[in-house]
Structure 1
Amino acid sequence: MSFEKPPEPPATRKPSGNADYRWAEFDSEAYFQHYYGEPHPDDDLLIRHAVEAMKLAPPLGAELDIVDVGTGPNLIPFYCALPRARQLTAWEYAESNVAWLEAELRTERMRPQWRHFWCTAREAYGPGYDLPENPVALLRSRTPRRCSFAPESITERQDEFDAACAAFARSVKPGGARIAAFLVRSAGYVVADRPFPVLCLSADTIETVFSRHAENIKAARIGIVEREIRSGYSGFVFLTGSRAERRRTAFLVQCESPTHGFS
């Protein structure tokens, strides 16, 4: 099993698109162990940003319909959204990730990593929220039995990435909160000897693309360093935005990969 960064593509090779990769064979457990096996301080900071955004998502005090786009083997977005959720829906492309998520929701026991991330989210919500020590039963009650498939921007192509961001923006009802986490300077990764793509983006480029599709943009740069935080990326850009008319909905998204982005 390898997680080393794949070699740089030759200058003459066209960037690969979403359809060029075998997502059904993505090794979800291997990815989880590598990227979430040891929680990182930047993970906790991202959770605190996400919780603050969820607490402020309109309409204040109301339950929200939450859609997480490109979930991957990752429950962190759901932990951040659960205290305000009426219903949680995962839109996930890879069949292996869907099966992995369903298995996680069936078990009563929490992995130590999930316990850590849930505790971080509970602390971020603070007083006024009656949150259980173990959120599995509550999470299961608010999550559909079958996650849906939807095409995310899992690509080396800028045009596919831009189209995915635009589609995400259009899917949010007027008044809904757009909450997004993007990887910075990610150049792809290898899981169980299979290469997978991520579009390499700067923080400035991410903010520019997102600003075309949302109002009241706020951006926070998390852990952006010259070195890699984990193999495959060097930081996050966390963004929030809105539309004018208020409705009962909020969305999370991981735009450049189904398993990177919100953790």
Structure 2
Amino acid sequence: MTSGTAAQKLNDEVSWDDFDPGAYISHNYLKMQAVDEEIVSRVRDHFSDHFRGGGRVASGIDVGAGPNLYPALAMLPWCDRITLLERSSRNLEYLRGQCADYDRHWDQFWDVLCRDEAYAELDVTPRVRFKEAVQQPEPGSLFDLCADTRRWDLGTMFFVAESITTSIDEFRRGVGCFMSVLNPGAPFAAAFMEHSQGYRVGEVDFPATREIDEAEVETALGDFTQDAKMYRLANPGDLVRDGYTGMILVCGRRKE
């Protein structure tokens, strides 16, 4: 999307079923970008440091999974079941097709994860473990979680809360909804686009919350987290697409 003054667009006003997973993957994930390698590496180390020697927990959730498998891959050694929550019907169809045998381009992300022995020494192949652990993708919105009574022991949310609305209030509410479904002490990883002007997938433009920076992310997460570390990633010359200034990754735990 181009810069300039734009009308507010709320999440429910977006036609999410027009999201084209094939176009999104072609632009973002067929060849691993350096910034994604850094994100995967930091999330891997965060989860490994938390769980090493402690065995698996029961459940993990990737909120707003979209056509991105690396958050779920990062959870494979650490939980018995993984829920993929996704609103778009086309993304849900893509995810269902990946459960039995995911596409080969995701192997490059697994190779980065395998630089830690917990991933490299998984007792089965990652495809078998993915099929065992990943439940059928669950239709639903990030905001549905605010009324959900279930709780998960591990969570990820990558480029979701700020990439579904132009409203800073909806962004803050979405972050709260994600954190509300994590059990006390649960480790999490969340990533955000900094000052995104919106983004195009195929021929369709989607909204984003422009105000996002490190201070705003810290404010949105502050009441929910402990032991959190924040990383600002990507120099302008390394951006995967136009229209944002960087990425922000937070790794931490749900407040006890």
Higher relative contact order (CA 8 A, sep 6+): 1
Gaps spanning 5+ residues in structure 2: where? Answer: 144-160
Q: Deviations over 1:22-45 (max 9, x none)?
A: 001211111110111221111111
Query: Structure 1 CA distance, aligned partners of 2:126 and 2:51?
Result: 23
Q: How does 1:1-263 map to 2 (within 5 A)?
A: 5-10=1-6, 13=7, 15-57=8-50, 61-64=54-57, 65-107=59-101, 110-111=103-104, 113-123=105-115, 125-126=116-117, 130-131=121-122, 134-151=125-142, 153=161, 154-200=164-210, 201-225=212-236, 228-243=239-254, 245=256
Output the amino acid matched with 1:199: T
The count of residues paired between Structure 1 and Structure 2 equals 235
CA contact (8 A) 1:110 1:134 kept: no
Query: Structure 2 CA distance, aligned partners of 1:132 and 1:232?
Result: 42
Query: Structure 1 CA distance, aligned partners of 2:22 and 2:31?
Result: 14
Query: Structure 1 CA distance, aligned partners of 2:87 and 2:118?
Result: 36
The SS at the match of 1:199 is coil
Output the amino acid matched with 1:139: F
Q: CA deviation at 1:21?
A: 0.8
Quick check: 63-72 or 217-226, which moved more? Answer: 217-226
The SS at the match of 2:138 is coil
* TM value normalised by structure 1: 0.81
CA contact (8 A) 2:194 2:213 kept: yes
Quick check: 139-148 or 59-68, which moved more? Answer: 59-68
CA contact (8 A) 1:66 1:88 kept: yes
Query: Structure 1 CA distance, aligned partners of 2:4 and 2:255?
Result: 43
Moved over 6 A (4+): none
Q: CA deviation at 1:129?
A: 5.1
Gaps spanning 5+ residues in structure 1: where? Answer: 246-263
